[in-house]
Amino acid sequence: MIQPQNFPKKSRLGCVARFWLIIGAACLFLLAFQAVFMPWGFYLGGHFHIIPAWSGIATAHAANGRDYLLFVYLFPDVSHPGRYTTDLQGSGFICTPKGEKIRMTAGAYMDKHLGKVTQGKPIEIRMHSASAYSRMISADTRPSIQFKGVWGPDEISGDDHNSLGRAFEPDGSVYTGRSPTRGPSFPTVQITFHAASSEDFNKACSSQM
């Protein structure tokens, strides 16, 4: 009678180790790629950091007395490779005066031909609602805001280009109308993003609600 052979069982620990080894190698390759083609990503905010990304929060004080708390997280857009590519992508949130926290998709653009220095360089940030429901049902990505500013030491200072006043009603709710002649509900707002984490934003938003 032929006895069944006992084949050695694959080590579950070995599979897990190989998985993390592959993940680690992929991360190192991505960092090396960005170091060569997008070195400015490691110096966003004016100093070196090992992760090529930057996040910040800002409070927009509208003329009608209402405050909008903004958060943005940005990193180099590797889908557009090239030494002179300076596009960024990311995410963000808006904490509205109505107490609503809206998840946003973010994108940003800087001057071409940057090296490592971003200080004093202009940047344009665009954000729109990341709601899957809105995109699936009506392709409506409101609120949509635009910010134009300049890099400083761990900050970005500029204004909202009238986008907050167009995106929101005077009471702080999102504008959902379709009037082609509607102007902004309040004037341009000066905004400064200061370096901060998502945890800092969540705490600030909770205290604002």
Share of the chain above pLDDT 70, in %: 79
Domain contains 79: yes
Within a domain: residue 69?
yes
Could you tell me the two tokens for 80? 């557009």
Tokens 């083609």 correspond to what residue?
37
CB 74 within 8 A of CB 44: yes
**131 vs 126: CA distance, rounded Å:** 16
Query: Is 19 inside any structural domain?
Result: no
**pLDDT at residue 40 above 80?**
yes
Burial class (CB in 10 A: 0-12, 13-18, 19+), 154: middle
Cβ within 8 Å of residue 20, ≥6 positions away: none
Let me know if residue 4 belongs to a domain: no
Whether residue 45 has pLDDT greater than 60: yes
**Model pTM score:** 0.82
Q: How many domains does the chain have?
A: 1
* Residue 169 CB partners (closer than 8 Å, separation 6+): 175, 185
Look at residue 10 and tell me if it is in a domain.
Answer: no
pLDDT for 72-123, tens place per residue?
A: 999 999 876 555 568 999 999 999 998 899 999 999 999 887 888 899 999 9
Q: How far apart are CA 77 and CA 40, in angstroms?
A: 12
148 backbone φψ class: left, alpha, beta (φ>0; ψ -120 to 50): beta
18, part of any domain: no
Q: Is residue 6 part of a domain?
A: no
The reply to whether 73 falls in a domain is: yes
Domain limits at 42?
37-208
Question: What's the rounded Cα separation, in Å, for the pair 171 and 183?
Answer: 15
Helices (H), the chain: 12-37, 132-137, 163-167, 198-208
pLDDT at 2: 53
pLDDT band at residue 11 under the 50/70/90 scheme: low
